[in-house]
Amino acid sequence: MAGTDRTKESEWAPGPVVILVEPQMGENIGAAARAMLNCGLGNLRLVRPRDGWPNPRAVASAAGADAVIAGARLYGSTAEAIADLHAVYAATARDRQMIKPVVTPREAAAQIRARIADGRKVGILFGPERTGLTNDELALADTLLAVPLNPAFASLNLAQAVLIVAYEWFMAGDDTPPYRLVTNQTSPAPKEELLNFFLHLERELDACGFLRNEEKRPSMVRNIRNLFQRADLTEQEIQTLHGIVTELANERVRRKRV
């Protein structure tokens, strides 16, 4: 989805190191870097990338996440890549029969944030696209990280896996409200304006005979009011509705004159 604000600088808060072990294609590295920057992560380490490094295809696939690509560090082994870290998580889709804690990305995000807040450096290992991490590489991790997916089809490509984990990391520290109304710079209508509209509408409905059944009128009015209450109308929308009702009423008068 589009939505990048080009007026803002790319930046990231201290977060986990993303370590790609033997990534196969430059395109996948670039897509993973893009996913990282989407979620405010910028520390990328590469262990023996198959097609070498630097890789121009990674730059093209990063789609603007140039700072992540430029800052990527190259290592000869997984052990070297994690040597300065205090805690390591390893992403895996398969049960390797190891006695290790296994967490979801959401739980991992909470744990990692707590560890980083304590001044610890944390890394997340992602294995090659085709085979994933080896048992020996998983043995280097403190905790395994598994994404809950359809058990009949749980395979993810590298960038997808990075994005899911990075997104949970981002959301664990994000305060965006789960619901908001986009109002195009017009404010939500106060109840006074809504009540005035109800009076206007009901007056015209009485005039045209829609509310002529006196017995049913109270329930009909309540139903109409509830309908508009649920719409969470803005001030501009209230004005538009007033205009619609007024124009319909004027048309009714014009037709009577004819």
Assign residue 143 the CATH number of its domain: 3.40.1280.10
* Structural domain includes residue 207: yes
Q: What is the pLDDT of residue 179?
A: 81
Is residue 136 domain-shared with residue 23, that is, in the same domain? yes
Is residue 53 domain-shared with residue 89, that is, in the same domain? yes
Is residue 94 domain-shared with residue 137, that is, in the same domain? yes
Task: Residue 221: give its domain's CATH number.
Answer: 1.10.8
Q: What is the pLDDT of residue 182?
A: 66
Is residue 131 domain-shared with residue 39, that is, in the same domain? yes
Q: What is the pLDDT of residue 178?
A: 86
Contact 28, 159 (CB under 8 A): yes
The mean pLDDT of 181-188, rounded to a whole number, is 71
- β pairing state of 44-47 and 143-145: unpaired
Confidence at 12, pLDDT banded by 50, 70, 90? low
The mean pLDDT of 58-84, rounded to a whole number, is 96
* Residue range(s) defining the domain that contains residue 211: 191-257
Confidence at 206, pLDDT banded by 50, 70, 90? very high
Of all residues in the chain, the percent with pLDDT exceeding 90 is 77
Which conformational region is residue 3 in: left (phi greater than 0), alpha (psi within -120 to 50 degrees), or beta?
A: left
Confidence (pTM)? 0.74
Q: Is 51 exposed, middle or buried (0-12, 13-18, 19+ CB in 10 A)?
A: middle
Report the domain count for the chain. Answer: 2
The mean pLDDT of 65-80, rounded to a whole number, is 96
The mean pLDDT of 177-206, rounded to a whole number, is 87
Q: What is the pLDDT of residue 31?
A: 97
* Structural domain includes residue 178: no
Name the average pLDDT for the chain.
91
Q: What is the pLDDT of residue 183?
A: 59
Q: Which of 78, 20, 24 is nearest to 51 (CA)?
A: 24
Is residue 48 domain-shared with residue 103, that is, in the same domain? yes
Amino acid in position 94? R
Question: In angstroms, rounded to a whole number, what is the distance separating the alpha carbons of residues 40 and 209?
Answer: 60
Confidence at 8, pLDDT banded by 50, 70, 90? low
* Structural domain includes residue 244: yes
174's tokens: 């994000």
The mean pLDDT of 134-153, rounded to a whole number, is 94
Is residue 140 domain-shared with residue 197, that is, in the same domain? no
Is residue 44 domain-shared with residue 166, that is, in the same domain? yes
Contact 122, 88 (CB under 8 A): yes
Is residue 65 domain-shared with residue 125, that is, in the same domain? yes
Confidence at 172, pLDDT banded by 50, 70, 90? very high
Q: Quickly list DSSP for the chain.
A: -----TTSPP---S-PEEEEES---HHHHHHHHHHHHHTT---EEEES-TT-SS-HHHHHHTTT-HHHHHT-EEESSHHHHHTT-SEEEEE-SS-----S-EE-HHHHHHHHHHHHHTT--EEEEE--TTT---HHHHHT-SEEE-----TTS----HHHHHHHHHHHHHHHT----S-----TT-PBPPHHHHHHHHHHHHHHHHHHTTT--TTTHHHHHHHHHHHHHHT--BHHHHHHHHHHHHHHHHHHHHHHH-
